[in-house]
């Protein structure tokens, strides 16, 4: 089941993101940031156990631009379509909000291309580069790929 994240999910999300950050796959997020941006987050929850299987965030950057970030699915749950469902939920919310473009920075280029995103130059997103990227240990030598989805088409 995909649903909006709740307060009880935040520590689990932080651990999941921390595990992926430890592998160099995404940025870790402090608890304070996750609580502050709780409304940005969606989670995949196992219907029977209530376990959080994955998470994703729709973060609004500007009037016509939002970011898909913090996408993580437990290793044991990958390949089951959970990541796709999480991203599609965020895409639907972005459309409902009237956002025209979504972007992501990722190593999973093929996954996002399959969902309709296209590779673009990172430099078209200056707001993103100077906010989150300054905190990244890979800055300024980022090796992630920027992808964009135009929702106005």
Residue 10: pLDDT above 60? yes
Domain assignment of residue 59, given as a range: 2-75+82-150
Task: Report pTM.
Answer: 0.89
* pLDDT at residue 104 in the model: 92
Distance CA 90, CA 149 (A): 12
* pLDDT at residue 148 in the model: 95
140/53: higher pLDDT: 53
Say how many domains are in the chain. Answer: 1
Q: What is the dihedral of CA 68, 30, 44, 117, to 10 degrees?
A: 10
pLDDT digits (tens, 9 = 90+) for 23-81: 888 888 999 999 999 999 999 999 999 999 999 999 998 888 999 999 999 999 999 99
Read off the pLDDT band of 141 (50, 70, 90): low
End-to-end Cα, the chain, rounded Å: 29
Distance CA 107, CA 144 (A): 5
Distance CA 46, CA 64 (A): 33
- CATH number of the domain that residue 101 is part of: 3.40.630.30
Structure tokens at 10: 């935040």
Query: What Rg, from alpha-carbon coordinates, does the chain have?
Result: 15
Read off the pLDDT band of 124 (50, 70, 90): confident
* pLDDT at residue 28 in the model: 84
């Amino acid at each position: 089941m995909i649903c909006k994240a709740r307060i009880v999910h935040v520590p689990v999300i932080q651990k999941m993101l921390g595990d992926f950050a430890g592998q160099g796959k995404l940025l870790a997020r402090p608890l304070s940031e996750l609580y502050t941006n709780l409304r940005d987050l969606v989670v995949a929850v196992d219907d029977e156990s209530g376990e959080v299987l994955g998470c994703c965030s729709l973060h609004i950057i500007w009037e016509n631009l939002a970011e898909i970030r913090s996408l993580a699915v437990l290793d044991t749950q990958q390949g089951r379509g959970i990541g796709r469902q999480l991203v599609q939920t965020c895409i639907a919310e972005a459309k409902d909000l009237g956002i025209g473009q979504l972007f992501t920075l990722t190593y999973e280029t093929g996954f996002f291309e399959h969902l309709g995103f296209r590779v673009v130059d990172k430099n078209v997103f200056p707001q993103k580069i100077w906010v989150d990227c300054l905190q990244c240990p890979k800055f300024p030598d980022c090796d992630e790929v920027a992808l964009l989805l135009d929702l106005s088409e």
